Chain A
């Protein structure tokens, strides 16, 4: 499998390296012996049935979940329990959530400038310029003075993407970014993500949008029961799945 992954790499620079990672919730073994190397510029889609540990895996990368065994290295920094170390990695790694997690008491602009101002110590004026730049990129600069509660779900998710981008992350994690959206809003969010991918952002994406995987991903990872079962380039993955579990999964989600 290592050679397989090697063949798919788009650059030599390692962005994320996970070795022998294990995680338990109490006594429940959620992630088993995860080995994963993500190279700079890769667009990886992680698929799998619910409860397979895909969200937990990417939440471990920015330490929203603690792993109990193994090594995670992000951008050359080994993830330890040291708070400063964790905060540093989080400020380099952007994350979008299923439920957006915008801050409802702040305007869209304030949502975007908060972290640059407080974490990066960017002057307010400059932070606002950066924020407007990224809000234009996700095509909602005119909503900057509204509050998240006044926006549609799709707009909120695009704001969430812009908010992450304002920190100039080198890696973006997406945790089912379209699962809480109405069908007509999924497209606007996916379009934003496609654009991001085309600019060469390193992306790890947990999603059920197989069309997105085909179009954008350079590697699809299939997880089941806390393990990486199979990974391949999308064409091969969808047309020629190797493991029976992958075949079953694909037949279920593509079958109708």
Chain B
């Protein structure tokens, strides 16, 4: 370039001028303040008004929060200590801490068990959420449901171990038979698992003392622990079920398609609370007399069905958003249906569906508080029932509900932040 210019122009600069800093009014905090807060007179008025509102809110809230009482044993003592000064009666949280977390009748010397299960949850979930962690950690994830069940419900370790064993054997049989046909593999696997489970459950009662923790019945579960159990189990079950329903709804086999459509439309058309009442009361009429079907299990089934119907519709949206060419690209390479779904279609459809799935998951987690209506003592049930009804703490609303809101907010905000991070991770264009 410079050669050509040399013929026609007398002077060509061959070095850049040193860069000058922009004026101080056009950079840094000054610029930000001018542009964002005081760019015009109406904006300035709005800024000042907003600052005043924030001041009023904080000047009411902060003394209440910071001047609160933590050590009294009932609300009357709180009032005496505070003596008219602003301040929350947070003693209720300190005194009823264990009840808020574990419910009213979980054995006191066993609080370490759900706590340990809670800590292990992070280890088990980490490799699923973060794909850069070593894949061997997935073994912990696979074992976690059995460990957590044993820790929380107690009883002999042999029960979850034999459940694990029958699933493993069922899977091995499935793997052997699936080469002949999928139906044979599925049937063989289920039958093998059932047989092993039956044989082992005949043997375990005689060994019920082996590695036994004190048994805790489902009706004794409560507090935030119950919300966490329901939330974690239902989210992790409803996602795969929702994927199957979404694929089923797209199926070219009319019977499968019809079953999925009817299931989704029916479940979506019914309020969750109705399903929970069905789980609590009505389901018992349909079961043979004398059979006791665990209440938590019934509730888990209902919430899972409810959430999976919603997730199925969210994923169906993701599937519909994929261009037809992706299916054809996968087909033209000779991938079979399962491979093209697993490797090509679902990774993309699920990525599109992340915001919707997270929406359902967050909603599901908060909906677990509805079990308080069918007289289970989850966090909300505990506050509404035993704590607020007691003479000691009658009337401590703000502190208790604020605490409940805070716990749910932490979990839901965490889920939301994770999903946004995941979306950025999965972005494959322009970076």
Contacts and interface: CB of A to CB of B under 8 A. Distances in A.
A73 B426 CA distance: 42
Contact of B429 (A94, A97, A119, A149): A149
A90 B335 CA distance: 8
Interface in B331-358: 331-337, 339, 343-344, 347-348, 351
Contacts of B323: 99, 101
Contacts of B363: none
A248 interface: no
A94 B326 CA distance: 15
Contacts of A114: 333, 335, 343-344
A105 B427 CA distance: 8
B334 A167 contact: yes
Interface string B355-370: 0000000000000000
A167 B333 contact: yes
B326 A101 contact: yes
A146 B250 CA distance: 32
Contacts of B343: 114, 118
A147 interface: yes
A101 B329 contact: yes
A88 interface: yes
Interface in A88-116: 88, 90-95, 97, 99-105, 114-115
B325 to A, nearest CB: 4
Given A103-B344, A105-B347, A149-B429, A87 B332 contact: no
B333 A163 contact: yes
A23 to B, nearest CB: 17
B231 to A, nearest CB: 29
Contacts of A90: 331-334
A95 B430 contact: no
A164 B339 CA distance: 17
Nearest to B324: A101
Contacts of A163: 333
A64 B335 contact: no
Contacts of B336: 83, 87
Contacts of A88: 334
Interface string B177-209: 000000000000000000000000000000000
A149 B427 CA distance: 10
Contacts of A150: 429-431
Contacts of B430: 149-150
B339 A118 contact: yes
Nearest to A166: B333
Contact of B348 (A91, A105, A147): A105
Q: Top 3 A-B pairs ranked by shortest CB distance?
A: A149-B429, A91-B334, A101-B329
10 contacts: A64-B328, A64-B331, A83-B336, A90-B332, A104-B348, A105-B428, A114-B333, A114-B335, A164-B333, A167-B334
